[in-house]
Amino acid sequence: MVHYLDNAATTPVRPSAVNVMLPLLTETYGNPSGAHRMARDANRVLDDARATMAEALGAQPGQIVFTGGGTEADALAVRGTVAARGGIPVCSAIEHHAVLDPVHHLGGRVVAVGPDGRLDLAALEEALDPSVSLVSVMLANNETGIIQPIAEAVEIVRRKAPGALFHTDAVQALCWVDVAEAAAAADLVSVSAHKFGGPKGVGVLVVRDGADPEPLLLGGGQERARRGGTQNVAGIAAMAVAAAETVAERPAALPRVAALRDRLADGIRAALPGVVETGVVGDGGPGAGRRHKTANICHLCFEGIESEALLFLLEKEDIMASAASSCASGAIDPSHVLLAMGFERDLAFGSLRLSLGYGTTEADVSAALAVVPAAVTRLRERGS
């Protein structure tokens, strides 16, 4: 039996989302930009989905821009804003590369985080001046689950760089954070369907009134000329269903999944020496100090091993997880998030992300508790 603990990478598509897609692929398949009945039917599906996503994200329907996913939504926010307004972008050092890379490309500034993985607000103040046109700070980190102080960051931006827009990448947040409330002050908000039970290849950028980034894709005039291209009607409808279910289930899911995550993290730490859990504030005792993390992410660093070898052993035991490291040009580099938090490279190389989801069970956690400590011990005994 496979135990899927990689929900931060992608979630299984909800059955309700699959069910809504099928007739839109086989029956209501008209181009929503057309004039005939089948086209109008498809356009009504988009209107309904737009209203649903607006409610889930605390926006107005006219502020919803459908995109091809979270990366495109981030690119439209960052590159589109700089193209429209000039100036430079600013972001935190722990952003997803979908934000971090455009900021570097555009000659922007990167702001430090503290050892707890949260934005250094004093450093943000120092980075701001009238040349800044956009500030991007993610709502929840994709590797560690650490939740950022968005309201405080927005207040600083409004005070120090009043001409700048504020963007938050909420791709990892919707299942675990009330995005409508937490991102209410942001001008631009990105989400991606496959992180909350929708299909891959579809997302949203919330564009508040007065924040009009230059479109990246021209032609056709779709999305009020903010994103050209025929919309993925079936994927958008499925995303809306998944978002509505996610928001409705969140109050019950949060304590259940948090308890599973705490059992997992505390059990692994109790079974092994030399384990560091990221983003835990305080003494790190059982269940302690995780109030600034999403409920689903158990992110650990193990002394004396390399995560790639650990993942291989876990997969052999049907535990599906991931490491916070990336492979580029044949060279494995430690996570930029962990390095920004001050982790030593050797420890960062031993990272493991076990991310839970709405379908995670006690049996999944029990399996991981049986396998992970034994696998780490085996690697340490043979020198990784």
Q: For residues 205 and 172, is the Cβ–Cβ distance under 8 A?
A: no
- Active-site residues, by number, are 327
Contacts with 64 (C-beta within 8 Å, 6 or more apart), sequence order? 50, 53, 54, 57, 204, 206
SS3 of the chain: the string is: CCEECECCCCCCCCHHHHHHHHHHHHCCCCCCCCCCHHHHHHHHHHHHHHHHHHHHHCCCHHHEEEECCHHHHHHHHHHHHHHHHCCEEEEECCCCHHHHHHHHHCCCEEECECCCCCECHHHHHHHCCCCEEEEECCCECCCCCEECCHHHHHHHHHHHCCCCEEEEECCCCCCCCCHHHHCCCCCEEEEEHHHCCCCCCCEEEEECCCCCCCCCCCCCCHHHHCCCCCCCHHHHHHHHHHHHHHHHHHHHHHHHHHHHHHHHHHHHHHHCCCEEECCCCCCCCCCCCCCCECCCEEEEEECCCCHHHHHHHHHHCCEECECCEEEECCEEEECHHHHHCCCCHHHHCCEEEEECCCCCCHHHHHHHHHHHHHHHHHHHHCCC
